[in-house]
Structure 1
Amino acid sequence: MSDNTLHFSLNLSQWQAHQFDVQLSIPAHSASSLTLSLPSWIPGSYMVRDFAKNIVSLSAKKTAANTLTPEAFTQSSVSIEKLDKQTWSIQTDGEACIINYTIYANDLSIRSAFINHEYAFINGTSAFLHIEEFENSQHQLEITVDDNIPSNWNGHTSMETRAPCSLDSKIDADANARAWYFGAKNYDEFIDHPIYVGVADTCEFEVDNVNFTLLFSGNNNIDYARIAKDLTPICQHHLSLFGTPYPVKDYLFMTLLADNGFGGLEHKYSTALLYPRFELPLIGDGEEKTDGYVTFLSLCSHEFFHTWHVKRIKPNVMVKPDLSKESYTNQLWIYEGFTSFYDDVTLARVGTIPAQKYLDIVAQNISRLLQNAGRFKQSAAESSFDAWTKFYKQDASATNNIVSYYTKGGIIALGLDLLLREQSGDKVCLDDVMRVLWQQYGKDESGTPDNVIQTLCKAHFDIDVSDYLNSVVYHTDDVELEALVQRIGIALRTRAKVSSEDKGGLSLKAPMKRQLGATLKPAPLGLTVAQVFEGLAAMHAGILLNDNIIAINGHVVSQGKLQRILDTTLESTAEVSLIRDGQLLNVTLPVMEARKDMAFFEINDADVFNHWLGVK
């Protein structure tokens, strides 16, 4: 271990309390005091999460001889001053010292830390203190488990494996403890490798000399060979799109399986995913791809695309972000939006899903926008900037007041691709833009300015897209897809919902005649209002969030009965009985025709459309 290496030892033996212990060994140094902090947010997830709130205890002590050997430590405590919610100053007088702290880890997500009987999952931003004076030093990690942990637990991370360092840092641990050793060249790299220690199934596959590992928590009856087979062409597509040399030689798909839950978070050499275990194909299933499995493949596609687009091509403010506070950018529509376009279109390009299935997925995204009154109030650029408070802290009113930079950004990307093809006579497409972004901004991670897309398109392809981007990105205009998609052999249509569960896409079912304009969920008696959509009947009637609708026109309701009564009512109004805050109320509901806010596509020329997809 070099003189300025920081050594972290992670012990997982307190899993019953959802806690793990960290021991940070700091060598002798020139500063009289050190500044310690824990990030307040994790890159890729734009919300302040205050990870330091999970530090249960923190203490420090010096060594007797400025060496980091077990015998050298004394009980001489170090003065610690807490400066704010996540920052400490320790008075070391330049002497070697050790920091001991305990983390509470009970957040089953891919953004924080979690530990139970089966595994521990840890993001570095949740666990590893940043020392300002050692930021660019080597960081070494030792993970230890003892007899309290089952023998079938193993350690996994995309971090570089290291040999045990000369320091035996297991000062308070069992001498027979099992251990794994990893390391990184600086703090930023150190916290960009999520860690999994526990029971896991793994499967490996190779694409163009890049080694991929699939890791799934627990032992399962999942058909991993099938998943590897289906992911192979998807990974190949992304590798081929950006070209050699590839930024990775090894890549880890790390999936936490749960009964429910969904999420993905990108890292430079791995991704952490959360997914329902029974949505994945089991050994013995047929070859049919369920919607849940298609969504999983799309999620993997999305996160692997981020290997280039977010982790290396990135907004200028994210090149070296301050993890103690928000870093604002207007550009998330480029990064999450473009990636949302590529995650699904890739599945169609490589034949994982048929063309119509892809179009149904796009139609569902358009339908979400059409139902979203917030798209008239917030632009995609504003959605990006306000991600910290509006997108990541949504409530039931969000659909009426904000727009998703993921959803609208993906539609913007589709429109941009079609516009570039139209303006260039099919010589330029969005793929070309992505390659220039990679060459000009990604390889050296220099960071993109806000106007990068319009500037790049003009400079490299002599195509002016500024009017288009000004209207759909910086203002609240819809992307005019109807005209753009005609030239690729498809037609965009709209219809009314066929049921309350309808998400959009091609359907042969009869549409609803009338529309309540609220999302409902079953209650012990009647239905509870989960969302009220602006401009529709429920809002006009004064029906509010969390109201419990119990009857319509004197009939106790279920979801199906309410819709049938609405569809067959001959009057212009209906009487709705509801309970609000313990009070029984009757409101008059205007009976309104169902709005045509469900999008679907029809393929008019399959050859032309397949040519656009790149399918032969």
Structure 2
Amino acid sequence: MIAYDITPIDLHGHLFNVSLTIEQTNDEQELWLPNWIPGSYLIRDFSKHIIGLHAESNGLSLPVKQISKNRWQLARSKHPVTVHYQVYAWDLSVRSAYLDQFQGFFNNTSLCLAVEGQTDLPCELHLHAPPEAPLWKVATGMPRKSGQPHSWGCFRADNYDALIDYPFLIGDLTIDEFIAHGIKHSLVLSGRHYADTSRITADLAKICETQISLFEEAPFQSYTFLTMVVGNGFGGLEHRNSTALLCSRKDLISAHQYEMNDNYQTFLSLCCHEYFHSWNIKTLKPKAFLPYQLEKESYTEQLWFYEGMTSYFDDYLLHTSGIIDEKRYLKLLGDTLSRVERGAGQYQQSVTESSFLAWTKFYQQNENAPNSIVSYYAKGALIALSLDLMLRLQSDHKLTLARVMKELWHEFGKTSIGTADDTVINWLNQYPGIDISDFLKDALYNKESLSLVELL
């Protein structure tokens, strides 16, 4: 058992206190912290925020040596070892950790050191109330071992990989629950807002019902939308039974608003996108991510599929679930087409290159980006649209991309087999009367515009 004790000790100083207890250490035991978080393809060096790391064993100080930017080595000990450190948390995003006098948020990739050779062991996380805010609530998808719902207590994960896939949101939270397809879902909001949570949860229920019906089952037993509400911000990151969201206050519809507007549509599309990832990247994923290599880049050509397909379905499912009408949906398609056609990047880079180089070019864009790169989100969505139209036309509307996604998930995702670069092409070729190989190879590996006008 690996145990972590986490306490927000200084809200104004933005500090979490962390203690890691290891029951039995190996000789020259090493500890390490991930350099990136799954779903956000950039080396972020979370270890740079660790302060004052030291260790003790059997009541005595135990020497610790830092051996790389994110690795530490413990001296030998025959007794349990406890490692103490603090983490500076001042990144108001969904990727790392944040703490102030109003709220706190953290991913365990930022707070919890991994124990080399023991990452398969069960983990316990003891979360303690800050002295300055003992009445704050707690929201997470991590299974609870002790404590009342939405309170401080002890949580448990099967292993380190699971531990880092359960973000936490703490503060004066608004929590509204709803049922979709017989599964409990929670909408959690932190920060000042005027949201009509009854309207929002009713709309989210439609979206969730539609997606679970599409795949015929859900890969989770409950789901939580962890939402940080700010004056101006946007972002989302998928997790195994939750999503971390950052949204602007204006994006949450209020009680006096009745008509759908662009801001609220943006929020629902974000929720739909991250929820779809529960199937498409959290369970169905590239073989290169099995398992994740969190200390270095993991390269794949397939982000056009995992982000592009998801970007296509996020708006499409808003329409099929009855949230937006066809006029709004077609405008969203037009916006995506415009984003791709407006820049010269699609003539300089293929979507597979964009995927492979996400670590540098896509996630570190400069002023020349529109001229030199293409978004695997946006052009990937247009490839998905093209495929959906081609499948329908070639099958007399008997085969759709939604059905293909469901069958791919059951074959390669639910089974944890993972996909190779040619899996999608080979899979589509098995359907009688379907001929998309040449189109898809050209769309993925060539640098040219898609012939969407004819298909539409």
The DSSP-based 3-state class of the residue aligned with 1:438 is: helix
Q: Which residue of 1 aligns with 2:79?
A: 95
Q: Deviations over 1:566-596 (max 9, x none)?
A: xxxxxxxxxxxxxxxxxxxxxxxxxxxxxxx
Alpha-carbon shift at residue 262 of structure 1 (Å): 0.5
Q: Which residue of 1 aligns with 2:140?
A: 157
Matched, 1:470 2:441: yes
* Conserved 8 A contact 2:300-2:356: yes
Who wins on radius of gyration, i.e. which is larger? Answer: 1
Q: Deviations over 1:414-447 (max 9, x none)?
A: 0001111122222211012101111111112211
Q: Which residue of 2 aligns with 1:133?
A: 117
The DSSP-based 3-state class of the residue aligned with 2:200 is: helix
In the alignment, structure 2 segments of 5+ residues that lack a partner are none
* Conserved 8 A contact 1:119-1:197: yes
Q: Specify which of 40, 43, 61 is matched with residue 56 of structure 2.
A: 61
Q: Specify which of 359, 362, 369 is matched with residue 391 of structure 1.
A: 362
Alpha-carbon shift at residue 154 of structure 1 (Å): 1.2
The DSSP-based 3-state class of the residue aligned with 2:447 is: coil
State the TM-score, normalized to the length of structure 1: 0.72
Matched, 1:120 2:115: no
Matched, 1:190 2:159: no
Match runs of 1:232-247 below 5 Å: 232-244=205-217, 246-247=218-219
Q: Deviations over 1:333-388 (max 9, x none)?
A: 00000000000011111221111111111101111111110110000000000000
* Conserved 8 A contact 1:428-1:461: no
Q: Specify which of 288, 292, 297 is matched with residue 321 of structure 1.
A: 292
Q: Specify which of 245, 248, 254 is matched with residue 273 of structure 1.
A: 245
Query: Residues of 2 paired with 1:28 and 1:130: CA distance?
Result: 14
Seq. identity, % = 40
The DSSP-based 3-state class of the residue aligned with 2:29 is: strand
Query: Residues of 1 paired with 2:182 and 2:295: CA distance?
Result: 38
Matched, 1:212 2:189: no
Alpha-carbon shift at residue 461 of structure 1 (Å): 4.2
Distance verdict in 2 for CA 1:153–1:424, change over 3 Å? same
In the alignment, structure 1 segments of 5+ residues that lack a partner are 64-73, 165-177, 486-616
Q: Which residue of 1 aligns with 2:313?
A: 342
Query: Residues of 1 paired with 2:283 and 2:276: CA distance?
Result: 11
Q: Which residue of 1 aligns with 2:176?
A: 203
* Conserved 8 A contact 2:49-2:89: yes
Kindly provide the amino acid, as one letter, of the partner of residue 199 in structure 1. Answer: D
* Conserved 8 A contact 1:33-1:94: no
Alpha-carbon shift at residue 126 of structure 1 (Å): 0.5
Q: Specify which of 416, 430, 448 is matched with residue 419 of structure 2.
A: 448
Q: Which residue of 2 aligns with 1:252?
A: 224
State the TM-score, normalized to the length of structure 2: 0.97
* Conserved 8 A contact 1:199-1:219: no
Q: Which residue of 1 aligns with 2:455?
A: 484
* Conserved 8 A contact 1:62-1:92: no
Matched, 1:51 2:46: yes
* Conserved 8 A contact 2:105-2:169: yes
Q: Which residue of 1 aligns with 2:268?
A: 297
* Conserved 8 A contact 2:6-2:125: yes
Kindly provide the amino acid, as one letter, of the partner of residue 18 in structure 1. Answer: H
Query: Residues of 2 paired with 1:269 and 1:184: CA distance?
Result: 13
* Conserved 8 A contact 2:395-2:433: no
**RMSD across aligned C-alpha pairs, in angstroms?**
1.3
Q: Specify which of 280, 287, 305 is matched with residue 309 of structure 1.
A: 280
Distance verdict in 2 for CA 1:6–1:145, change over 3 Å? same
The DSSP-based 3-state class of the residue aligned with 1:216 is: strand
Matched, 1:26 2:22: yes
Match runs of 1:587-602 below 5 Å: none
Alpha-carbon shift at residue 463 of structure 1 (Å): 2.3
Query: Residues of 1 paired with 2:30 and 2:99: CA distance?
Result: 28
Query: Residues of 2 paired with 1:297 and 1:210: CA distance?
Result: 19
Q: Which residue of 2 aligns with 1:602?
A: none
* Conserved 8 A contact 2:251-2:266: no
Kindly provide the amino acid, as one letter, of the partner of residue 100 in structure 2. Answer: N
Kindly provide the amino acid, as one letter, of the partner of residue 41 in structure 1. Answer: W
Query: Residues of 1 paired with 2:130 and 2:32: CA distance?
Result: 29
Q: Deviations over 1:49-108 (max 9, x none)?
A: 000000011000101xxxxxxxxxx1x221212111101111133421100010000000
The DSSP-based 3-state class of the residue aligned with 1:140 is: strand
The DSSP-based 3-state class of the residue aligned with 2:359 is: helix
